[in-house]
Every structure is written in structure tokens, then in C-alpha cells.
Amino acid sequence: MEMATFAAGCFWGVEAAFRRLPGVTETSVGYTGGNVADPGYERVCGGDTGHAEAVRVSFDPSKINYNQLLEAFWAAHDPTQMNRQGFDIGTQYRSAIFTHSPEQESAARVSMERLAGSGTFGQPIVTEIVPAGPYYLAEDYHQQYLEKRGRATCRVF
């Protein structure tokens, strides 16, 4: 199994999008990219931790590759919105790819450059591509939030 970590706004809908992909073996939602150890949801929402709401994906590379995960990431949100997705505003909702290897970083940059040159979006892509750091699991009630409520998505744009 390999691991990937993405931030694309509210983690509920992003997690649901990845959970549907064949080859994804596990997902979790959490907080990463900030400067506070073991933050909770309320603290992250306060905007002073630097953390993003993120989804960690475990995947079987014989069934799905990292480039396919990147395609799902781009499709799950609007990467041109700085520190927001739809009605959710703040740095915790930023678009980011947290890479776990030099190969992931390279693939993410190539993917972003290809998308930027495609004309798909009318504005520049603002997604961060940074090395993965500490990842703090979100509270249990956030895990598989939509699935627990019988919903498939919470997409707002």
C-alpha cells in the first residue's frame, strides 16, 4: 500500500470522493500543514494553527496509481480559489497536495502544469504542493461523515 494526502476544502466531501475509487483501501480525515501539534477541529477552524482539513488516502498501486488520484483531486474541488471552497472560507480550506516522496512531488507538479495549460479553469491554480508533515487524525465524528449520514457528496460549487 502507498499513501497520499490532499486538502481540497471541507474534508467530508473530499473523503467521500476518494472512498469511491477502486484501489483506495482506506481513507481518513485530519489536519496537516500547520504549526500546532495535535489540534482539534475547533482550533483548526479558528484559523491560527496553519493546518488544512485534509484527507489521507491509502491505495493499492496495482489497482490505482497516483496520477489517477491526482485526477480525482482536481475534479473534487476548484483549485483556483484561494483559502476557500464554496461557502467555506479560511486557510484550513486551502487547496494543497502533501507529497510523500519525490516521485509524488514530480507527478503533482506535472499534473498541475498540465491542468493549468489546459484552459479548464479561467483563473490561475493556487494549489500548494509541499512535502507531507505530521498528520493529526480528526475527531471520530468527522470520519466518513457523509457516509454515516447516507449522503454521497456535499459539493457546493
> What CATH number does residue 128 fall under?
3.30.1060.10
Residue count of the chain, please give it.
157
What's the predicted TM-score (pTM) here? 0.92
Contacts of residue 76, defined as CB under 8 A and 6 or more positions apart, other chains included, come to 8, 13, 14, 17, 18
Q: Is residue 153 part of a domain?
A: no
Q: Is residue 155 part of a domain?
A: no
- pLDDT score of 148: 65
What is the mean pLDDT of the segment spanning 93-116?
98
Q: DSSP letter at 142?
A: G
Structural domain for 96, as ranges? 2-148
Indicate the Cα dihedral angle 13, 139, 100, 134, nearest 10°. 140
Catalytic residue among 8, 10, 57, 138: 10
Domain count of the fold of the chain: 1
- pLDDT score of 157: 38
Taking 3-state DSSP, the helix, strand and coil percentages for the chain, each rounded to the nearest 5, stand at 30, 25, 40
Q: Is residue 31 part of a domain?
A: yes
| pLDDT, tens digit, 9 for 90 and up, residues 39-81 | 999 999 999 999 999 999 999 999 999 999 999 999 999 999 9
Q: Is 45 a catalytic residue?
A: no
Neighbours of 114 (CB within 10 A): 12
Q: Is residue 156 part of a domain?
A: no
Q: Is residue 54 part of a domain?
A: yes
CA 148/CA 140 separation, integer angstroms: 11
